[in-house]
A = this chain, B = another copy of it.
Amino acid sequence: MKKGVMRPGHVQLRVLDLEAAVAHYRDLLGLIETDRDSQGRVYLKGWTEVDKFSVVLREADSAGMDFMAFKCVSEAVVDSLRDELAAAGYAVEEIPAGELNDCGRRVSFLAPSGHTFELFATKAQPGKWGVGKLNPEAWPRGLQGMRATRFDHCLLYGIELDKTLELFRDILGFDLAEQVVTPEGKRVAQFLTVSMKAHDIAFIEHPEPGKFHHASFYLESWGDVLRAADLISMTETSIDIGPTRHGLTHGATIYFFDPAGNRNEVFCGGDYHYPDHEPVTWEAEQLGKAIFYHDRVLNERFLGVLT
């Protein structure tokens, strides 16, 4: 949080069938539906998140990610980062307050990787779902499905990893926590954090810009990962891989797909990061183990990404 950016604030995903998607994210992942807007978009959040929403679903003709936003500690930080972005040559767009329900103005820009990001500081804050701020119970009754606790990060595929790292590190105050490097010294994956988390955003080198690999949600335990895998089968949801562990970050994970084909991850555990930690490096020759620590090979589906 060197520059005042706190955390992933929301991600807007395109889905093909809105109600099928809501059933997936609400009933299977266990996110809480908090609102719908006049455009027909649906807002959801994990139960531990204090802000009103962290996932926005928009019905469209193709799946993928519209944008991902980071919450800043103050509007002044948003102003300051907007000016730094503009000074660095980024075309910055201001989206007025209210374009997303109960969310303040957002500053939007296109990263060199080809993805749209936003910064904002203001969002309605109803608090954690089902537990108050006074004598809160350990967890709320009535959670559904996987009981995902929060939207955690995205993994994106795209171009220009070096310039994207400069943007996130030098302007937005992220650290490079983990990376994959080829024998020639080229960084082909970068996991960036603005907190103690092993990653708040991650990028993998890809010939096309702006591709979406997955949106990830946090679970409390490895037991919850098994439960999530069971629910994936019980609901005949398309699974990619898991339960397994990543080498990168060491989180314990499952990949699966929403009805539109957007990949989701649920995971638990993994490494923590402080600003004085040197980056962890995985050699590209070990990419299989870096991604899927147990199988030690990539499955074919891992390479599949959406616009």
Contact = CB atoms under 8 A, between A and B. Distances in A.
Given A134-B281, A274-B6, A296-B239, A139 B196 contact: no
A99 interface: no
A13 B197 CA distance: 29
A234 B226 CA distance: 22
Interface stretch (A56-64, A78-86, A160-168, A282-290): A282-290
Contacts of A254: 294
Contact of A293 (B138, B276, B293): B138
A12 B252 CA distance: 35
A95 to B, nearest CB: 20
A92 interface: no
A138 B293 CA distance: 9
Interface residues of A, number: 60
A304 interface: no
A276 B272 CA distance: 21
Contacts of A139: 230
A233 interface: yes
- This chain's copy number in the assembly: 4
Interface in A238-291: 239, 242-245, 247, 250, 252, 254, 269, 271-272, 274-283, 286, 289-290
A252 B227 CA distance: 11
A271 B278 CA distance: 26
Contacts of A294: 229-230, 232-233, 239, 242-243, 254
A207 interface: no
A306 interface: no
Given A50-B277, A223-B223, A245-B229, A135 B286 contact: yes
A190 interface: no
Contacts of A73: 2, 275-276
A85 B283 CA distance: 45
Nearest to A292: B233
Contacts of A305: none
Closest 10 CB pairs of A and B: A223-B223, A196-B196, A229-B294, A138-B230, A138-B250, A243-B243, A135-B286, A137-B234, A6-B274, A134-B281
Given A50-B277, A135-B282, A243-B243, 18 more contacts: A1-B1, A6-B274, A6-B275, A71-B276, A125-B276, A133-B281, A134-B283, A135-B283, A135-B289, A136-B247, A137-B234, A195-B195, A195-B196, A195-B274, A221-B221, A222-B223, A222-B226, A223-B223
